[in-house]
Amino acid sequence: MRVHNKYLSIILVGTKKNLVYRADFILNFVSALVMITVQYFLWSAVFSKQASIKDFDFTDMIKYVLGLWFIFSFVNTQSLSYVIQNKVVNGDISCEFLMPLRLYLYYFIDYLSQKLLYLLFSGLPALLISVVLYRVSFVSWINMPLFFMSLFLAFVIAFNISFLVGIFSVFFKNIEGFIQFERFLRILLSGGLVPLAFFPGTFEKITFFFPYRYIFYVPVMIFTGKMPYKEMLINLPFQFLWAIALTVFAQRFFYRIKLRAVIFGG
């Protein structure tokens, strides 16, 4: 019971801490709305000369964009890499090792509570306003249980990748290059730039060997109803396996290297 109370306290404290920065939610909401608007006019120009691209028409593309930004508000975890780097360099992480809880789980719960707030106060309002503004209707509400399952797994995958990149600071101290390279891979291989279906077949097949397609592409395709049910039954188990594999690897790697870590100031 004490364990449950301990981690529940993390959620409550994390929620109160993040609610203090209300302006951050507003800026994220405005940024999402602006980017959606920019992409709306961009794709409007693209589809003015052709009816469809790889089975995507203009309406499908706008749905994809809206779903993408909604998901982005929840799975954008790359700031975690900077947080871990700063704590390693400043020596603050040495104090966290002394806390009576699993440090990995502490970061996970704290970040999950933070991203739920961003989803609620930034992603959801941007989605709803855009749906009304651009007159987009979603007819795939029957997929919502599978979508939210996929969304949570996408967060787990994204969190673990950012966590692992942050841990590299134990060895390299400054990991800006790693963070930028990982950001490039995430945008390119996840469908964060354009749907993966737009790429040549060989390139799309390559993405099956990386976890990134399960961060954006799979959840957004389920959200928009563009993924057939049979494909969901294939992709969701693979997404689950990636989430489990990365979780196990991240925890084991973290607790193996913490004894070898050289902490500045600690």
pLDDT tens digits for the chain (266 residues)?
455 566 666 667 666 666 666 677 788 889 999 999 999 999 999 988 888 888 898 999 999 999 999 999 999 998 889 888 888 877 777 676 666 678 888 889 888 988 988 898 889 999 999 988 888 876 566 788 899 999 999 999 999 999 999 888 878 778 888 899 999 999 989 988 889 988 888 888 888 889 999 999 999 999 988 888 888 989 999 999 999 999 999 988 888 776 655 444 44
Give CA 63 to chain center in angstroms.
Answer: 18
φ/ψ of 173, rounded to 5, equals: 65, -60
Alpha carbon distance 58, 44 (integer Å): 7
Q: What is the pLDDT of residue 265?
A: 43
Q: Taking a C-beta distance cutoff of 8 angstroms, is the pair 36, 66 a contact?
A: yes
Q: In angstroms, how far apart are the furthest CA atoms of the chain? A: 62
Alpha carbon distance 231, 152 (integer Å): 18
Which uninterrupted H or E stretch holds 20?
A: none
Q: What is the pLDDT of residue 162?
A: 94
Which uninterrupted H or E stretch holds 123?
A: none
Q: Which residues pair with 52 in a beta bridge?
A: 57
Q: What is the pLDDT of residue 167?
A: 87
Q: Taking a C-beta distance cutoff of 8 angstroms, is the pair 118, 203 a contact?
A: no
What's the chain's length in residues?
A: 266
Alpha carbon distance 72, 212 (integer Å): 13
Q: What is the pLDDT of residue 25?
A: 77
Buried b (16+ CB within 10 A) or exposed e, 138-167: eebeebeebbebbbbbbbbbbbbbbbbbbb
Q: Taking a C-beta distance cutoff of 8 angstroms, is the pair 257, 84 a contact?
A: no
Q: What is the pLDDT of residue 89?
A: 77
Alpha carbon distance 74, 80 (integer Å): 13
Residue 138: closest CA among 194, 64, 192 = 64
CA atoms within 13 A on the CB side of 10: 21
Buried b (16+ CB within 10 A) or exposed e, 224-250: bbbbeeeebeebbeebbebbeebbeeb
Eight-state DSSP code of residue 119: I
Alpha carbon distance 81, 163 (integer Å): 6
Alpha carbon distance 205, 143 (integer Å): 25
What residue ranges do the domains of the chain occupy? 2-257
Q: What is the pTM assigned to this prediction?
A: 0.90
Q: What is the pLDDT of residue 151?
A: 95
| Token pair of 44 as six digits | 């409007």
